[in-house]
Amino acid sequence: MSLDNRFPMLAEDCNSLLCKYLTPEVFDALKDRKTNNGFSIQDVIKSGVENIDSGIGVYAGDELSYHTFSELFDPIIKDYHGFGVDDIHQSNLNPDDLNAPNPDPDNHYIISTRIRVGRNIDGLPLGTAISKKDRNLIEKKVSIALNALTGELSGTYYPLSGMSEIVREQLISDHFLFKAGDRFLESAGLNRNWPEGRGIYHNDNKTFLVWINEEDQLRIISMQMGGDIKAVFTRLTTAIKEIEKKVTFSYNDHIGYITSCPTNLGTAMRASVHIKLPKLGADMERFKTITDKYYLQIRGIHGEHSDSEGGIYDISNKRRLGVTEVQCVQDMFDGVVALITVEKGL
Ligand code: ADP
Ligand code: DAR
């Protein structure tokens, strides 16, 4: 926990929301504050100060961070999510409310569908501030809950500690496992004691996965080949319900599920398809007009900060807070239908 009370050196060409909203006045108001876990404003901004190419540049250390440092978090949340201090977040994890028949039953375009949520354990610091002891306790408690799952969700937990390089590389190339955290997470303190306390659970047919202690304490993931988006969402909601019988997640009525990065607050949900759109890919201006209209984000096929390959794109919802989980998936579905329609016509 650093305690430098001087306003940080922010590069002239820094375009992050940190640089946009951390004025000397805001810093002076926050520089002596700490949360009950000892998290300071210097800890909140460390990743964005060390990585001037950050998009956001801040991480919370605990749920209280979003209140203690609200002078910085509130304008960032408003800017990214369009969500104001008086807005209320609502959750809806009922797949019956989703209108999403498979948009590509012949699998001409959609290679695979994946829907994930981030979750953190109620009453504990987030990964940025947690102790090694508590992180290991989370791994123990959550892996025991997962190993008790039955039916389609039944599977095995694989700790990263002791995992062979061959198994790890295979899981990464299957898109099932997270890579060692990137420099943004490193700066935020999310990789401390790596790989201790980290691991992956997956069911026997690898359509349900849980990452433990990566960017959030749980990443609960449902995925399968093809475009049956409703089946993927249904499996995820069933799994969340089962895990919640054993583990209480950090949630509040204003900003929903609490996550270390403010971009994931609310639903903490990213619903994505890996989809072949080579013709649209040749006209990125038109491509982005459509993704903007449907509140979609374009990523590369090896995750955040990666590039697309062979005309294949990772298309997902951008909105996470101030919309329900059903709306996140509906955003993605409606946008994918529009993208396929245009691709067909080119
Ligand atoms: P997150 O979705 O958890 O925010 P990333 O964007 O880094 O994180 O994606 C994590 C991993 O999931 C990456 O290996 C990525 O290739 C894979 N992935 C994401 N969406 C899909 C999808 N629709 N099909 C297959 N793999 C996917
Ligand atoms: N590198 C951080 C992350 C922003 C959103 N992505 C997350 N949380 N994985 C940035 O400020 O760009």
Band of pLDDT at residue 272, cut at 50, 70 and 90? very high
83 pLDDT above the threshold of 50: yes
CATH number, domain containing residue 22: 1.10.135.10
CA distances for 44 relative to 128, 153, 210, 222, 313, angstroms: 9, 36, 26, 31, 32
Q: Is residue 89 part of a domain?
A: no
Q: Which of 219, 235, 319, 320 is catalytic?
A: 219
Mean pLDDT for 77-103 is 97
**2 lies in a domain?**
no
**pTM for the structure as a whole:** 0.95
Q: What is the per-residue pLDDT across 153-181, written as a single tens digit (0 to 9) for each?
A: 999 999 999 888 888 888 888 878 877 76
Q: Is 261 a catalytic residue?
A: yes
Same-domain status, 281 and 255: yes
Handedness of CA 168, 169, 174, 178 (dihedral sign): positive
Q: Which residues are near ligand 2 (CB < 6 Å)?
A: 16, 54-57, 184, 215, 261, 263-264, 304
Indicate if 157 and 28 belong to the same structural domain.
Answer: no
- Ligand nearest to the CA of residue 313, numbered in listed order: 1
The reply to whether 73 and 210 lie within a common domain is no
Catalytic site includes residue 219: yes
- Is 126 found in the same domain as 24? no
119 counts as catalytic:
no
The pLDDT assigned to 176 comes to 83
Residue 153 DSSP class: G
Structurally, the chain folds into a number of domains equal to 2
Instruction: Tell me, yes or no, whether 100 and 70 share the same domain.
Output: no
- Please indicate, yes or no, if residue 3 is contained in any of the structural domains: no
CB 273 near ligand 1, within 6 Å: yes
Which atom of ligand 2 lies at the shortest distance from residue 17's CA? 11
Looking at the structure, tell me whether residues 209 and 325 fall in a common domain. Answer: yes
Specify whether 215 is catalytic: yes
Is the same domain home to 257 and 285?
yes
Distance CA 112, CA 34 (A): 43
Q: Which position among 299, 324, 325, 343 bears the catalytic label?
A: 299
In a domain, 336, yes or no: yes
Does residue 54 sit in the same domain as residue 193? no
Residue range 34-81, pLDDT digits in tens: 999 999 999 999 999 999 999 999 999 999 999 999 999 999 999 999
Could you tell me which residues come within 8 angstroms of residue 315 by beta carbon, excluding any fewer than 6 positions away?
A: 272, 273, 275, 291, 296, 297, 298, 299, 332, 335, 336, 339
Q: Is residue 317 part of a domain?
A: yes
Q: What band does 128 get if pLDDT is binned at 50, 70 and 90?
A: very high
Please say which residue of 33, 54, 81 terminates a domain: 81
Q: What is the pLDDT of residue 81?
A: 94
Measure Cα distances from 202 to 112, 136, 233, 341 in Å.
Answer: 17, 19, 16, 34
The rounded Å distance from CA 86 to ligand 1 centre is 33
Which residue, of 81, 116, 135, is where some domain finishes?
81
Task: Tell me the pLDDT of the chain averaged across its residues.
Answer: 95
Any idea what DSSP says for residue 320? -
- How many CA atoms are closer than 13 Å to the CA of 71, on its beta-carbon side? 12
> What is the 149 CA–ligand 2 centroid distance (Å)?
31
pLDDT for 1 equals 46
pLDDT at 11: 83
Among 116, 198, 235, 319, the one annotated catalytic: 116
Can you tell me which atom of ligand 2 is nearest the CA of 54?
Answer: 12
Mean pLDDT over residues 124-136, rounded? 98
Kindly state whether residues 168 and 40 are assigned to the same domain: no
Supply the pLDDT for residue 210. 98
In a shared domain, residues 66 and 143: no
Specify the ligand 2 atom closest to the Cα of 264. Answer: 8
Is 165 a known active-site residue?
Answer: no
Could you count the other beta carbons within 10 Å of the beta carbon of residue 305? Answer: 12
Please report, to the nearest 10 degrees, the dihedral formed by the alpha carbons of residues 173, 175, 180, 186 taken in order: 140
Q: Is the pLDDT of residue 3 over 70?
A: no
Atom of ligand 2 nearest to the CA of 260: 8
Judge whether 6 lies within some domain.
Answer: no
Q: Which ligand is nearest to the CA of 46?
A: 2
CA 220 to chain centre: 10
- Domain containing residue 55: 17-81
Mean pLDDT of 190-206: 94
DSSP structure string for 7-67: PP---TT--SHHHHH--HHHHHHHTT-B-TT--BHHHHHHHHHH-TT-SS----SSTTHHH
CATH number of the domain enclosing 298:
3.30.590.10
User: Residue 22 domain-assigned?
Assistant: yes
pLDDT in tens, 213-242: 999 999 999 999 999 999 999 999 999 999
What pLDDT, in 10s, does the model give residues 290-327? 999 999 999 998 888 788 889 999 999 999 999 999 99
Q: Are residues 223 and 305 in the same domain?
A: yes
pLDDT of the residue at 314: 97
Which atom number of ligand 2 is nearest to the Cα of residue 53?
Answer: 12
Per-residue CA distances from 22 to 17, 35, 73, 75, 242 (Å): 8, 19, 10, 10, 41
Choose one of 81, 104, 137: the last residue of a domain.
81
Evaluate whether residue 215 is within a structural domain.
yes
Compute, in angstroms, the gap from residue 302 CA to the centroid of ligand 1.
7
Nearest listed ligand to the Cα of residue 263: 2
Is 116 one of the catalytic residues?
yes
pLDDT at 5: 87
CA-nearest residue for atom 8, ligand 1, is 303
Catalytic status, residue 114: no
Residues 224 and 249 in one domain: yes
